[in-house]
Structure 1
Amino acid sequence: MADMVYAVVPVAATVLTGLFAGLFFGFSIAVMPGLGRAGDRAMIESMQGINVAILNPLFAAVFIGAPVGALASVVLHTSAAETASAVWFGGALACLVAALGITFGVNVPRNNALDEAGPAERIADPAAVRGAFEPVWVRWNHLRSLASAVALVCAVVALTVR
């Protein structure tokens, strides 16, 4: 049973980290550029809808599971005296925590401000609301995409070293 845990947890942590990174990468290369082509009200309405839709159990499992899995992998590899793997998973964990910090420190507050602006059709100056949201949100999303991609590289390396 213990062997199964040592095999499954690091692989699951790596898969979850890949999903975590892929989510932010998808926003960087497709979602936000696509919304960037939309008018102000359409962009605001779409992003408000995304902010509601993303809060679901699958998102939560990935968003929480990736760092928890990385932490569990650090503990497992440390307890097995597999220092190199533990260090690489530690790097993955650090990058995931950085991405979470960006998310809660920058992106979520921007999402909340967008929601507080009210329904897109009732916003008096949608260009101003968009201007306060989009450039900051996109810039920091690119950074959390990079941090989570580095986390994925670290997790993959952790699976290959001992």
Structure 2
Amino acid sequence: MELVRGGVLVVSTILIGLTAGYFFAYSNSVMRALRGVDDRAFVNVMQKINRDVQNPVFFLAFLGGVLFGIIALFMFLSQPAAVLLPVIVSLAFNFLMCFVVTVRGNVPMNVRLDRMGPPERIGDVAAVRREFEGAWTRLNHVRAWGSTLGFGAMVWALIAYVNT
């Protein structure tokens, strides 16, 4: 059982780390680079990225981090608080600031942007960009911080587990 518990912590840590890296990279490279393109290019690129991100590799990391966090929570309920507490903290950050923000914030914005159709058919593409870019980027920063803090807490849990 200890091997399974340790394995769940390792897998959860890796998946949350991948998610944190993804959102961090978005905040610090992709969105920064897109600031320099014209409105039509911005909308076109965001529509394409938001469609293409829906793939098994992304979903494995994104949903897997939450799933393995939940599994870890149940596996460590009867374990020392030194391990259980950071698992709870990690799950809270990852679930509330990453998963919920994505599902309730970024995804609905992505869907609205995609439903507008190709940028060349949007009447005021600059207004669409203004409405989307700032709000979407702020939410992504929340996801980056949430998943990073969740990753740090899961690393803390892993260290505590090894030392108990």
TM-score normalised by length of structure 2: 0.93
Moved beyond 4 Å, runs of 4+: none
**2:77 match: secondary structure:** helix
Report the alpha carbon displacement of residue 108 of structure 1 after superposing the two structures with TM. 0.9
Aligned residue for 2:93? 95
* TM alignment of 1:80-159, pairs within 5 A: 81-98=79-96, 99-159=98-158
Superposition RMSD in Å: 1.1
How many Å separate the matches in 2 of 1:82 and 1:16? 24
Consecutive unaligned residues of structure 1, counting only runs of 5 or more, are none
Q: Does 1:33 align with 2:32?
A: yes
Shift of 1:151: 0.3
What is the identity, as a one-letter code, of the residue corresponding to 1:82? P
Give the Å deviation of 1:96. Answer: 0.9
Q: Displacement, 1:78?
A: 2.1
Post-superposition CA distance 1:85-132 (Å, at most 9, x none) = 111011000011111111112111111111111101211111011011
Shift of 1:4: 2.4
2:50 paired residue number: 51
Alignment correspondent of 1:12:
11
Q: Distance in 1 between matches of 2:142 and 2:65?
A: 18
TM-score by structure 1 length?
A: 0.94
Identity %, equivalent residues:
37
| Structure 2 unmatched ranges of 5 or more | none
